[in-house]
Structure 1
Amino acid sequence: MTETTRVLIVDDQALLRGSFRVLLETEPGLTVVGEAGTGTEAVALAAELAPDVVLMDVRMPELDGLEATRRICADLPDVRVLILTTFDLDEYVYAGLRAGASGFLLKDTPPADLLNAIRVIAAGDALLAPSVTRRLISTFASQPPATAVRGLEAVTDREREVLTLIARGLSNAEIADHLYLSAATVKTHIGQLLRKLAARDRAQLVIAAYESRLVTPSSR
């Protein structure tokens, strides 16, 4: 029996929520368990319904999507948040990932890409396209001061190399080619990084790399 991914849709526009619901519920393996029109409603419904994925808007009344994401990710570690943004809201991407989101998409993303993104997030992976990672994360991660990242002292030299390449937007296959490693070995290193840095997913590894200044925009 195919496992169903349960999705909570959060957007202050009822018409857009309805469009997302229709799209998702016509897709096998996806079901919409609820809708919220504000960040406050999103936090409450996430706690009540425990969805697998929250599709999160950024600009909303009462509580914006970034703070709602922070609260949901802090209280519900098994819930994944996929933030929706627009080209003129790029500055929110870094803040959203730092709040615990597992990825982000532009609101004009083709339907097939949105459906795929929900499945990627639900599987426990992060949705960080290499090109977007390089452009956005590098730009906005330079804003906060360097901070001590817990667990970084336990990371080996090889794991640091892998972490650096993840933060630069390379895929597992590209990292394997770059370091002359097998795909399985790269996956093992990433697993160790997730454990040592207490990171939810790949997105959080990117944040850790930038916040510790292991990677900076100039080192891309």
Structure 2
Amino acid sequence: MDPHTNNKTDIQAYKKLCAISFDDGAAGNAPTDPSMRILKALIKNKMTATFFYVSDWTKNAGGIEEVKFAYKNGMEVANHSISHPYLSKLDTNEIREQWEQCNTELRNIISAEPSHIMRPPYLDVNENVLSALCDIPLISCAIDTRDWDNATTEQIVNTIKKAAQDGSLEGAIVLCHETYASTAAAMEEVLPWLALNGYKNVNISDMAKAHGNALANGQLNTHI
């Protein structure tokens, strides 16, 4: 039975949805790796998320097994490029290759099509990027936890709680990274809190479907 299909039915019972998503994997599948702590926190709280993988960083055994584990447990596997470059510095063919090759390598790992979305590395786009990827929804964020900028666990948690309390978290795409212990600890704390306060974290594509909205091709999507 496909966990991705089951989760879509479950989502309909929730009025408050958010999409905390995670970049820069695969970090590995050891129990103490931040990536696995995040995945286990999501599973424990019956939630899903979108994981944006860099295909060059999924080549070792631990990375491959992490991607398989994420997909098997209902997570959305999505494209974060081959090698994490600034796309705006590439020509059109190179930009397209970053999308195509990452997709191919993720498909080979999960034996299914990855999600048809991409988060540009560094959220870096220009007109050339938007043109080269005009048939692909590009994912930015409405809320940046700034874990990449050394935000502490407490700061990450407070960013998400504040957004939940002021209503800006609902329908929001939230940017995190799976590579930081601070982020893993934050998810272990904030996901149960979200559940107690009526929120469900879901993957980006499922949130769009639940809200009856389409992700826009060739544009940066921040909120659904």
Give the TM-score taking structure 1 as reference length.
0.33
Give the TM-score taking structure 2 as reference length.
0.32
Larger Rg: 1
- The structure with the greater share of residues assigned to helix is 1
